Structure 1
Amino acid sequence: MPSVEILSRIQFAFTIAFHYIYPPLSIGLGLCLVIMEGLYLKTGLALYKDITRYWIKIFALIFGIGVATGIIMEFEFGTNWATYSHYVGDIFGSALAAEGIFAFAMESAFLGVLLFGWNRVNKGVHFFSTCMVALGSIFSALWIVIANSWQQTPTGFRIEGHDLQARAVVTDFWAMILNPSSVDRFSHVIIGAFLAGSFLVMSVAAWYVLKKRFVIHAQTMFKVGLSVAVIAALLQLFTGHRSAHYVSKYQPTKLAAMEGHYDSSAVAPMYLVGWVDNKQEKTSGIKIPGGLSFLTHGSFSAPVEGLNATPPADRPQAVNFVFQMYHLMISIGMILIALTLLALVLLWRKKLFNQRWLMMIFTWAVLLPQIANQVGWYTAEVGRQPWVVYKLLRTSDALSHKVTADEVVFSLVLFTLVYMLLFALFIYLLTRKIQHGPDISDDADTEYEGYYKDNLTYHPTKL
């Protein structure tokens, strides 16, 4: 049987990976809701009101599942990672308390108005509530990313105690939250969330277009999602480069694993695709000679610190895994840019919604940002190993000493069953809401010349 450390890492990876499906969707969808309802306030058209109310229902479903799946991780800190919790308690306590007070409380309070405030408060108050929910979800992500970023680049603390009694104590709160990686990582995470939410909107809209249901609503939804996705996809190039730059400066061993680079005296290529043989310390594949050297030092001939500069015990062992996850994330990012720019050009030429093949691609493309977000997290966390707090606390030393392998396996099996049920419920409810579609306002017909309503389906007589 695998060790307690491996099993506990698998368990935490599974629970956080499942949870991480939902927060990016709610963050990205929150921004789309602000745009939709803002258009309703500006134009007064029932069209925008209908699609806003429709997506609020889906937002509530995603938010609820996200909250339920996130609670489990907090218990795991105490059950499986007691030494870690003691070590970072002062740091994480500050960040998570701020998340609860300044983000989650605000988000939850205004969520009630968002869901039940239609026809009970005026339009301006409801729109303000929508903005606060969207902003609260972003703030929530901010504090979680700050806490995680401190593990990557710890600052603003001192160590009290020794050995198992050692713990990090905050000495400078602002230095702690503005640690060297927090801003770059937060921007990268948030842009990824905007892509996840916007591609969900475009996926559902594309499906309606293919089925010729709610055509006007679907086209409007798609345009809103596309406006967010185009900007976010292009911005992700910049935030991704910034994130890689901080890694090269503060975690060069992780960067070397991301590119499978071993020899510190050699020029570092940038691989497009490849395979890493960690035993032979050799990487093969299609590469740009000197590409990593140029991105890191601005010169194609400059050497880059490799994995051999770090003792084997202090470097990640799953180098090929880190390499593949990192390059998969980049590949998906390029695909998202290509898809959104192509859709934008076709929209400008008024040919977008006639391209059934492209609508079919967008229906399934909702999976791409989710995969990119997941593998990006794998890259960051596995690439940091064997440290849970970089250069301070090893993962092997962060475990609870009373937990057995059998107990971890038993709880992992139970979590898997519960999460499978939750996911099945989520897919079932989401599918029902999509199949039902938006509820059409009674006065909606008067807004569209040449369109008529029949069984909640809009049939265009001219396009």
Structure 2
Amino acid sequence: MDVLQLARWQFGITTVYHFLMVPLTIGLSVLVAGMQTAWVRTGNDRYYKMTKFWGKLLLVNFAMGVVTGIVQEFQFGMNWNSYSRFVGDVFGAPLAMEGLVAFFVESTFLGLWIFGWDRLSKKAHLACAWAFSLATMASAYFILAANSWMQHPVGVELVDGRPTMKSIWAVLTNSTALAAIPHTIAGAFSVAAAFLVGIGGWHLWRRRDEHRGVWRASLRLGGWTGVVAFVVLLVTGDMQGKLMFEQQPMKMAAAEALCHTEQPASFSIIAIGDVGSQNCEDVKTFNVPALLSFLAHNDFSTQVQGVEDLITQYQEKYGTNYPDDPALGELAGKPIDYTPSLPVTYWGFRLMIGLGAISAGIGVLALWLTRRDRIPDSKWFPRMVLLGMATPFLANSAGWIFTEMGRQPFVVVPNPTGVDGVWMFTAEAVSRISAGEVWVSLITLTTVYAALAIVEVFLMNKYVRGGIAGVLPPEKPKQDAESGETSDDDALTFAY
């Protein structure tokens, strides 16, 4: 493989791995803050135990997310320095904001929350939980604003061939970002919801009677959260789809394997055969007539452009061949392929929707089976909820792979109504380094990430199996009646 392919593989592996942890942190942090709020307001010991148990799992996941996330920005300089120079003036502000939020606000309030259980008042301690969880979402906002600019450049002018920011407000209120943020946050709640349903359902099935109320409450909180999250995902996903038909029509045509323009256009539920073939219409089956026109334009009779017509338009606007620049390696002077990988976009789009629906369906079924204080006794119940935990993680990954690979061959997609020239081919963005150098970092990082995965699975398994008893703080030692001193060292009894 050449440098471009290796660099894309490396960024894909590390980013997808990192994003397995991000949505769980975002969703679970808010749910844990909600659990603690219920405890502070009611004094019910059940909510205290829920906060301690799920908070411990949150901390493990957060720590791993921080470690794996640091590499993401380093890769811009390692393998994508041409890209970094092109977008640097725009990305500097949102990435700096994200860094300030993540490493100062999040870390500060998380530290206060961890070590403040017996040192802060209940309300002050609760405020730390909410500050941390809201800062986590704010951090995601700034990252998504930067990513959305790559999908739809706004708020810049072209100076000496490079985009220069004119308005940070335009970047932060980019229509693409405003649609992506609620969709991503809803996806994060879907992940956290399945996490609660899976682990809570497993413990409930084991009939740990002393903590039965904790597991039932956790499962039902997760079930209802997953249902609401899926509804929000449908609404925000529809908003995103309509924007993509305007801003990145090739991506959406590829998502439907729509080779030729149709009016009205049918929506393909599933295809049998090679969707990557030139005449991909021949393999499409189970179509819903005119539905794609509605999804694109809220009208059942409008035209939707196909891949073949869009290729002609792209060639007229952005050229038929790459520049004859030796820095482009094998692609120098070669024809530009404007079609994304049809199998990846077509199936990625459907996996995202299908797995999300399965996750919500498992949540609904778990709610039904545990109604009126019931406990399922069938062996398939714990298997269902535990396997269901994977579905929103996979749906999130499929969605991001579709989003990122669907914009190829661009790393910065042209804005149809924006400033001319503010776009960049992926082939032009890669660093001028050798394939051997990328192989070294790819193997090293993949090995390190594999080791971190083992650590996370071990820690998660340890605390999940330990249950409530494994996360509650030890009882404070009794004071000696005469001396008034404790018999054991209690220096760390305040810790989480």
TM-score (norm 2): 0.84
Determine whether 1:303 maps to 2:300: no
Note if contact 1:387-1:393 (Cα within 8 Å) is conserved in structure 2. Answer: yes
Question: 2:390 maps to which residue?
Answer: 367
Question: 2:184 maps to which residue?
Answer: 189
Question: 1:459 maps to which residue?
Answer: none
- How many residue pairs are counted as aligned between the two chains? 437
Q: How much does 1:398 deviate? A: 0.5
Determine whether 1:393 maps to 2:393: no
Shift of the 384–193 alpha-carbon distance from structure 1 to 2, 3 Å rule, reads same
Write the distance in 1 (CA, Å) between the matches of 2:277 and 2:136. 40
Question: 2:480 maps to which residue?
Answer: none
Mapping 1:251-262, distance limit 5 Å? 251-262=248-259
Q: How much does 1:306 deviate? A: 1.1
Question: 1:111 maps to which residue?
Answer: 110
Note if contact 1:32-1:228 (Cα within 8 Å) is conserved in structure 2. Answer: no
Q: How much does 1:17 deviate? A: 0.6
Q: How much does 1:74 deviate? A: 1.3
Question: 1:429 maps to which residue?
Answer: 459
Selected match of 1:416 from 421, 446, 451: 446
Note if contact 1:262-1:281 (Cα within 8 Å) is conserved in structure 2. Answer: yes
Determine whether 1:204 maps to 2:227: no
Write the distance in 2 (CA, Å) between the matches of 1:208 and 1:380. 36
Note if contact 2:198-2:389 (Cα within 8 Å) is conserved in structure 1. Answer: yes
Note if contact 1:290-1:300 (Cα within 8 Å) is conserved in structure 2. Answer: yes
Say which SS state the counterpart of residue 261 (structure 1) adopts.
Answer: coil
Mapping 1:298-377, distance limit 5 Å? 298-311=298-311, 313=336, 315-351=338-374, 353=376, 357-377=380-400
Write the distance in 1 (CA, Å) between the matches of 2:401 and 2:375. 35
Note if contact 1:56-1:115 (Cα within 8 Å) is conserved in structure 2. Answer: no
Question: 1:454 maps to which residue?
Answer: none
Give deviations 1:159-204, integer Å, cap 9, x for gaps: 222xxxx322110111111112001111111100111112112211
List gaps (5 residues or longer) in structure 2.
313-335, 415-422, 476-496
Mapping 1:237-248, distance limit 5 Å? 237-248=234-245
Note if contact 1:36-1:224 (Cα within 8 Å) is conserved in structure 2. Answer: no
Give deviations 1:303-331, integer Å, cap 9, x for gaps: 20111122273523411211000011111
Question: 1:458 maps to which residue?
Answer: none
Aligned-residue sequence identity (percent) comes to: 32
Write the distance in 1 (CA, Å) between the matches of 2:75 and 2:426. 14
Q: How much does 1:232 deviate? A: 0.8
Write the distance in 2 (CA, Å) between the matches of 1:175 and 1:442. 52
State which drifts further: 362-371 or 215-224. 215-224
Q: How much does 1:344 deviate? A: 3.4
Note if contact 1:104-1:136 (Cα within 8 Å) is conserved in structure 2. Answer: no
Amino acid paired to 1:306: G
Determine whether 1:384 maps to 2:407: yes
Mapping 1:23-34, distance limit 5 Å? 23-34=22-33
Write the distance in 2 (CA, Å) between the matches of 1:279 and 1:294. 26
Question: 2:322 maps to which residue?
Answer: none
Write the distance in 2 (CA, Å) between the matches of 1:316 and 1:263. 13
Write the distance in 2 (CA, Å) between the matches of 1:135 and 1:355. 39
State which drifts further: 237-246 or 205-214. 205-214
Question: 1:176 maps to which residue?
Answer: 171
Give deviations 1:363-387, integer Å, cap 9, x for gaps: 2211011000000001100000000
Mapping 1:118-157, distance limit 5 Å? 118-157=117-156
Mapping 1:89-104, distance limit 5 Å? 89-104=88-103
Write the distance in 2 (CA, Å) between the matches of 1:122 and 1:307. 61
Question: 1:19 maps to which residue?
Answer: 18
When the two chains are superposed, the root-mean-square deviation of aligned CA atoms in Å is 1.9
